[in-house]
Structure 1
């Protein structure tokens, strides 16, 4: 695919050798990869180090645009297929090699419950759509709770490859449009790229403010960063005549802007929005300053051999550092400072070896360049297909192993001396090792319940029904957020044993409360959908055609306090008022009681991570005061709302005042604050007794329609 064009003079040319390696570019690459690596290892010390990715984007936009202009100047056309072939030979071999290493390491050492996620992301990364896979995960509540996969950093490579795919097509279209008019190419290309930059930047500012989780990974919100680099190549670097000293000052100013952005930008900021201009313009300024040759300039400092070496291997350093950060704890546990320093060294060594034996040989292999780019495309397609295929098969094997072990744990949970029942019965002997094992407990969730959640992206009310639909013992509802969902296996077991008809209404991060949620990510859509879902849930619960004998609810204490104060003294007060409003309205309209389960412990450190690191349940404990340090507004709301009873299971979670990861031989949590399905199943007899006690203790319900 190509388009003919009369040769024009490229403004991107610097000097007589347009393909020489520029010291400032290599220096920027070294700065960018250093920022990213240091951020991933010490995020609190360098909170904005992730802007190194944006530096890479600007560099890519500049270099690729300059390259395409040189090709137009030399040949009068844009040879798209050949361009893609060169990009594949340059980037794909090392990328696929690292992905293969991640896949093998995961198979040998990775936690079984993480296999489906990791291999799914390996497949996405191998075809360069990892950014969209992560964007999808960012709106999936349960995917958000999964530890970051060792391929997460491939999101930026995916964005870059998508740019490499589209940008030469844009060049070709411009070339085709002006094929009969010499000298008009640059003018039209500037207009087209300028329009892309403005449109992408405007979209980035808007989308980063309204849906920041997805915006961060979107190619559309990042296109302007490549575009500004490309615009610099199109406008030309030789038009402004400045001496070496002024350009040296400009160069260091750009570096200062990049350094400032790494220090002041936070991961909680809407990014990439307007704030991304700081590192992007800083990079543009450094490239604009160019090779000054002045003593003390950035390009002079960047000419130092270690800096040039790091810039030369920066791509492979980027590929290797993150998998090491994620996978080394599988063996060593939490990373010490020494381990982190070792990761830096190992990343550089592996990068050098990869460049020496993978990158350079394949990029220069004559058999790949024969017959244009056909061998390149065939080899890339076969290699990617093999990775995708292996990534599809491996999780199936892992899922079978996990399913078998989880089934054994669930079966143990319903015995008479397991989990919660063992905690309340001192005569029960403890299981030797808690089940499910820490490496699979994250997967210990009820698949039927996971289908019942209304996600952030919509406000739809989903009703899931369990137990006996004829409701011989009455109709019961469970409503709330993911913590209510974690209790669902206990309620489902009770419904089956007692003959209840059980309806479940669930939305992650959304309590049954008449408050407006506050979210640190300012996801306006999710906030509005929470309100819509809550209103729909309240209407369904009070529907006279489907009356409930009582409703059970609970919510995450931290989320319960993340609300808009709305005239109240504190968000906590607003949360109490909002909960009372929802519960009191239901009781007044239906006459049925509401039973509120106090929230379970919220661990400072995930007990699952502790179990995986130490293998000793005795070391994975937390004091009751620490685990319940966040005040639960449900307690005060229940105490002051007629027709509402409180169920407090603290002594089950924290016997003798110590909260434990291993309760009655069952791993009680699947992350820092969600109960495992196995433990929830074991909790059913205890919860059933508490429900009976709470119902008996409530005074007669107020007459329907009265205020409460």
Structure 2
């Protein structure tokens, strides 16, 4: 490991003693945030190569959902597999330290600094604090900090998954868990189809109604989270079967094929960005299936990945949350300051990326990393297992 790699590892390690990361998830996380940033890049700063990728940038959020489903699902299911149940307090405390500090800082900037806002109007503060701003969100009316919609979906997932896991753990066999996962995926497809033919049927109000009724709500975006949790369950409770039936020689090519099919289907939609019936019903689960298969392959290839110089990828992946929070307002402020005449083509792209990463590094160093280290100290305190707590209570 060279000096640059060692510096990156030290700078972006969440804790002082946690320098080793899983490169497989980090590869997907880095790709996801770069896709999202490409999607939001101002039009004058999109050189020809970026124009090829930009139409698919919205898929980055679906990659994030699959990763969250897998990582959070694995965290909870490992406790079930070890016979420790679900420690609700510990789980929600961990999530609060991870999500809230950086989010609240950026939210405060939106409300305290008018020049920070990337839209003319913003939803009431309570909608953000209760993570309900994705319900009925109309970007034409309140266009500032709309990217927080996916954080609302994530938070709802954090609230719902622990009790659901504990409930399903009471049943023997895979049947109920697979049934719930299938219901979420197929039910989401059916729900989006119904909304398209019902409340979102008027072509004159699209794409606003599509985004408000289909794209933003939690209940229509559970495909990726469900697939991620199912992958975690399979790898934790049936590792031998996964190794035998789903080796990387199968999941890798299948994942790539599904990714290519996603791109082709996206190009064949009415507007190229999936704001039609085909996109609503099929593109979300197809993109999430591709991500799930690729994640499964990358997890099995982790020993090989660890031998590659992927520290820059890890750095981007570590900054993904901060980048997601700040990239739109930073781009807005830079555009207001310098204008499109200066920020054009490769020059504009380089300037926007430099500003985005600089702001993300500051948010990481000043807010994210200190709170992650505080979380480590708080959660390091001995916490009795649920069974032991029952004995003490008796």
Question: Normalising by the residue count of structure 1, what TM-score does the alignment of the two structures yield?
Answer: 0.43
Query: What SS is found at the alignment partner of 1:291?
Result: helix
Which among 335, 338, 354 is matched to residue 363 of structure 2?
Answer: 354
- Taking structure 1 as reference, are residues 162 and 247 closer, same or farther at Cα in structure 2, changes over 3 Å only? closer
Match for residue 285 of structure 1? Answer: 293
| Contact 2:30–2:314 under 8 Å retained in 1 | yes
Gaps of 5+ in 2: 1-19, 201-209, 384-394
Superimposed CA distance per residue, residues 334-368 of structure 1 (whole angstroms, 9 cap, x where no aligned partner): 47223443221222222223222311221231675
| 1:305 and 2:311 are equivalent in the alignment | yes
1:51 is displaced (CA, Å) by: 1.1
| Contact 1:302–1:308 under 8 Å retained in 2 | no
| 1:266 and 2:261 are equivalent in the alignment | no
- Taking structure 1 as reference, are residues 73 and 294 closer, same or farther at Cα in structure 2, changes over 3 Å only? closer
1:65 is displaced (CA, Å) by: 1.3
Q: 78-87 or 360-369, which moves further after superposition?
A: 360-369
| 1:148 and 2:147 are equivalent in the alignment | no
Match for residue 51 of structure 1? Answer: 59
1:30 is displaced (CA, Å) by: 0.8
Superimposed CA distance per residue, residues 624-680 of structure 1 (whole angstroms, 9 cap, x where no aligned partner): xxxxxxxxxxxxxxxxxxxxxxxxxxxxxxxxxxxxxxxxxxxxxxxxxxxxxxxxx
Equivalenced residues, count: 333
Query: What SS is found at the alignment partner of 1:362?
Result: helix
- Structure-to-structure mapping, 1:100-249, within 5 angstroms: 100-106=108-114, 114=120, 117-118=121-122, 120-134=123-137, 137=138, 144=140, 146=141, 148-149=143-144, 151-175=145-169, 177-178=170-171, 184=172, 186-210=174-198, 211=200, 212=210, 213-236=212-235, 238-240=240-242, 241=244, 245-246=249-250, 248-249=252-253
| 2-structure distance, mates of 1:156, 1:302 | 32
| 1-structure distance, mates of 2:61, 2:367 | 23
1:292 is displaced (CA, Å) by: 4.5
1:60 is displaced (CA, Å) by: 0.9
| Contact 1:23–1:302 under 8 Å retained in 2 | no
| Contact 1:197–1:227 under 8 Å retained in 2 | yes
| 2-structure distance, mates of 1:30, 1:223 | 21
1:314 is displaced (CA, Å) by: 0.9
Of the two structures, which has the highest relative contact order with CA contacts closer than 8 Å and spacing of 6 or more? 2
| 2-structure distance, mates of 1:328, 1:199 | 42
1:101 is displaced (CA, Å) by: 2.1
1:235 is displaced (CA, Å) by: 2.8
Query: What SS is found at the alignment partner of 2:195?
Result: helix
Query: What SS is found at the alignment partner of 1:76?
Result: coil
Match for residue 30 of structure 1? Answer: 30
- Taking structure 1 as reference, are residues 22 and 323 closer, same or farther at Cα in structure 2, changes over 3 Å only? same
Match for residue 363 of structure 1? Answer: 372
Query: What SS is found at the alignment partner of 1:153?
Result: helix
| Contact 1:221–1:272 under 8 Å retained in 2 | no
- Taking structure 1 as reference, are residues 174 and 247 closer, same or farther at Cα in structure 2, changes over 3 Å only? closer
| 1-structure distance, mates of 2:155, 2:308 | 27
| 1:326 and 2:325 are equivalent in the alignment | no
1:332 is displaced (CA, Å) by: 3.5
- Taking structure 1 as reference, are residues 243 and 199 closer, same or farther at Cα in structure 2, changes over 3 Å only? closer
| Contact 2:116–2:332 under 8 Å retained in 1 | no
| Contact 2:251–2:293 under 8 Å retained in 1 | no
Structure of larger gyration radius: 1
Superimposed CA distance per residue, residues 122-175 of structure 1 (whole angstroms, 9 cap, x where no aligned partner): 5422332221151xx36xxxxx2x4731x1100011111111111112112223
1:98 is displaced (CA, Å) by: 1.4
| 1-structure distance, mates of 2:60, 2:289 | 13
1:255 is displaced (CA, Å) by: 5.2
| Contact 2:248–2:301 under 8 Å retained in 1 | yes
- Structure-to-structure mapping, 1:481-630, within 5 angstroms: none
Query: What SS is found at the alignment partner of 2:82?
Result: helix
- Taking structure 1 as reference, are residues 281 and 203 closer, same or farther at Cα in structure 2, changes over 3 Å only? same
Superimposed CA distance per residue, residues 481-519 of structure 1 (whole angstroms, 9 cap, x where no aligned partner): xxxxxxxxxxxxxxxxxxxxxxxxxxxxxxxxxxxxxxx
| 2-structure distance, mates of 1:207, 1:164 | 26
1:323 is displaced (CA, Å) by: 1.5
Greater fraction of residues in helix: 2
- Taking structure 1 as reference, are residues 362 and 300 closer, same or farther at Cα in structure 2, changes over 3 Å only? closer
